[in-house]
Amino acid sequence: MKPYQAIPIHECHEPLVPIPLDRFAVVDPHPYQALGAPYGDQSPFWLRAGVLERLDRALDHLQTEYPGWRIQIFDALRPIPVQQFMVERAILEVAIARNLDPATLSDHDRAAILPEVQTFWAIPSSDPGTPPPHSTGGAIDVTLVDEHGEPIDMGSPIDELSPRSYPDHFAQSDLEQASDFHQRRQILQRILTHAGFAQHPQEWWHFCYGDQMWAWLSHAPHAYYGRVSDAT
């Protein structure tokens, strides 16, 4: 159990709303849909109304400082089956990196891999008190694109299972371009947190509002958003 999962949820029943894809840039095709993740008839581009309001505010702030730049949506709403699908892919990715055969992965090997996977992925649960952040409609994975629509290089790709994903990884690095990567991550962090979001401690791209992680990081007494299926 992660620390934020102990935060109580007082569901506010705020509705889900579609992200206006003409206003925000998107990764197309959606990366998890392209892998075959089981979305069914659900779209990944939905958020709670209050989250979208804050995302709009962040975009306005960004364009005041950097005209023409936009927030690019990598992922937003993630149903539980999709979360499970992506966790299993992450387990296989780590297994291959450890020179293990995914087809014959033992329970012992799987248990040894899980802590690394859990650093970046929330293991889905049937308990409504411990929903994965993205299954609440309160979490979003984002990056930035410039005035030409080109993604800003943040030093590592979204979903990379490595310390390079930590928001401040390049702060003390002497690698070439490290200061550029850190400055760009700081821009993203500043515009999102200014709008009320909290940033995942291990993921430069993950921001949230209203869910358990946000409550834990913000020292709020409770979360507003539970699992979407329990809120409707």
Which positions are annotated as active-site residues? 203
Reduce the DSSP state of residue 88 to 3 states and report it: helix
Alpha carbons 211 and 140: distance in angstroms, whole number:
11
Structural element, H or E, at residue 141? strand 139-145
CA–CA distance, 219 with 232 (Å, rounded to integer):
26
- Virtual CA dihedral for 102, 34, 14, 185, nearest 10 degrees? 80
Among 54, 205, 69, smallest CA distance to 138 is for 54
C-beta separation of 117 from 87 below 8 A: yes
